[in-house]
Amino acid sequence: MTKPRPPRKTRPTIVDVARRARVSIGTASRVINGYENVDADLKARVNAAIARLDYRPNTSAQDMRRGRTRLVGIVIRDIAVPQMAHFVKSAQDTLYSAGYSVLNASSENNVERELMLIETLSQRRVDGLITAVASEHDARLRKSLRSLGVPVVLLDREEPDSFDAVLVDHRGGTQRAVEHLLDLGHRRIALLTGKADVRPAYERVRGYEAAYKARGLTVDRSLISSESFTEAFAIGKTTALLVAADPATAIIAGGLAILPGMLQAIHTQQRRVPEDVSIISGSDSALAALFTPPITSVRWDYGEVGAAAARLLLERMQQKTDLPPRRVAFPTELVLRGSSAPPPSRRRS
């Protein structure tokens, strides 16, 4: 015989609050938004009503009225890559602190998919976007970003049209890595990285070439594989490099997912690091640091990069300054660890 109280189907609105507090909705709105010029008594009544009803303003409605959403999109290749997750987390925290919520999605390095994601974000009227576009050269992508009509910050991408960007010095890092290997006596140094339509890939290639030039040596382009950032590619290519007639004596993992694939292939082929082959990772990670032997790596601070991207975006969103695009560069450092040593030939001598 319990009296079935009618289930609250819809959540309370500002009208409910106003009615309960016996004030106009205007007054209720003022209290909700913390205006000062409200009579103490009325304010108290409104607050009581809010508490009683467990009222929460409907952001969609506020957004519509105010013409902004305080929503930011983050679109990257794959959030499951630890370093990416790091970046996202840091950017997210910064944005949350500023009152923004974050919508994120993985583009899988697929232009079509990324276009769809941007389309969705566009419909959701995000106030800004942080993205590592899948390709720097895709006209549709560029147009899509432009037509968003909101600030965009690129992660490690160059754009002729120029949005703001945060850029990591992969070139310098790779150059130092290669010079280090050359100095150890390596002459067959392979570089595995992604397709050249994206900055981290082509910058690593440039760094590689710069190192050879700096040492007065000529590059053997056949040792550079600028093809893909996937683990599968890393496994296949590494295997090929190891079993070749003239095997590579050192390999550089030029991408986040390259290292795991490379290590797996080396393990399968039963090669020892660094006795049989030296290794340098183009990005640091827990895996690189804790592996046995620890892996010499190009390092930078993902968290800082994420926070910087978020700050750039916040500044654009807040002051609608039509300043020229800004780019924040992040240096890299080569952390020497046990995975890089003289090549086998040198050892014998």
Partner DNA sequence: TTGAAAGCGCTAACAG
Partner DNA sequence: CTGTTAGCGCTTTCAA
Q: State the residues that interact with a second copy by CB under 8 A.
A: 8, 10-11, 54, 56-61, 63-64, 67, 69, 78-82, 84-86, 88-89, 92-93, 96, 101-106, 119-120, 122-125, 147, 149, 260, 263-264, 267, 286-287, 290-292
Handedness of CA 167, 288, 236, 266 (dihedral sign): positive
By CB under 7 A, residue 239 contacts DNA: no
Choose from a second copy, DNA, none: what does 348 bind? Cβ within 5-8 Å by kind. Answer: none
> Binding residue for DNA (CB under 7 A) from 20, 23, 186, 231?
23
Cβ atoms within 10 Å of 247's Cβ, excluding its own: 17
Residue 25 interaction partner, one of DNA, a second copy, none, beta carbon < 5-8 Å per kind? DNA
User: Least separation, in Å, of the C-beta of 12 and DNA?
Assistant: 8
- Does 24 engage in binding with DNA (CB under 7 A)? yes
**Beta-strand (E) ranges in 214-306?**
224-227, 250-254, 278-281, 296-299
Min CB(285)–a second copy separation in Å: 9
Residue 229 burial class via C-beta count within 10 angstroms: exposed 0-12, middle 13-18, buried 19 and up: buried
- Closer CB to a second copy, 67 or 160, in the complex: 67
Assess 4 for contact with DNA (CB under 7 A).
no
Closest approach of DNA to the CB of residue 68, in Å: 10
Kindly state the smallest distance separating residue 51's Cβ from DNA, in Å: 15
- Backbone phi and psi for residue 154, each to the nearest 5 degrees, phi listed first: -90, 140
Residue 98 beta carbon to DNA: minimum distance, rounded to whole angstroms: 18
x-or-dash string of contact with DNA, 42-81, rule CB under 7 A = x--------------xx--xx-xxxx--------------
Partner that binds at residue 15, options a second copy, DNA, none, CB closer than 5 to 8 Å by kind: DNA
When binding is defined by CB under 7 A, the residue of 29, 47, 122, 264 that contacts DNA is 29
| 331 near DNA, judged by CB under 7 A | no
Between 149 and 160, name the residue whose CB sits nearer to a second copy.
149
Helix (H) or strand (E) holding 96: helix 82-97
- Distance (Å, rounded) from C-alpha 344 to C-alpha 349? 9
Q: Which residue has the tokens 């382009």?
A: 221
- 10 Å CB burial of residue 249 (0-12, 13-18, 19+) is buried
Quote the CA–CA distance of 201 and 103 in Å, as a whole number: 27
Residue 226, beta-bridge partner list? 193
15 binds DNA (CB under 7 A): yes
Which range binds DNA by CB under 7 A, 27-35, 69-77, 134-142, 149-157? 27-35
Given a contact cutoff of 8 angstroms between Cβ atoms, the answer to whether 14 and 29 are in contact is yes
Could you tell me which of 280, 77, 82, 286 has the C-alpha nearest to residue 173? 280
320 binds, among DNA, a second copy, none (CB under 5 to 8 A by kind): none
- Least distance in Å: CB of 106 to a second copy? 6
CB proximity list for 52: less than 8 A, separation 6 or greater: 20
How far apart (Å, rounded) are the C-alpha atoms in residues 14 and 28?
7
Give alpha helix (H) positions in 162-198: 170-184
Q: Among 32, 152, 223, 251, which residue interacts with DNA (rule: CB under 7 A)?
A: 32
H/E element, 258:
helix 258-268
Give the Cα separation of 167 and 308 in Å (integer). Answer: 10
Using CB under 7 A, list all residues that contact DNA.
10, 13-15, 23-27, 29-30, 32-33, 36-39, 41-42, 57-58, 61-62, 64-67
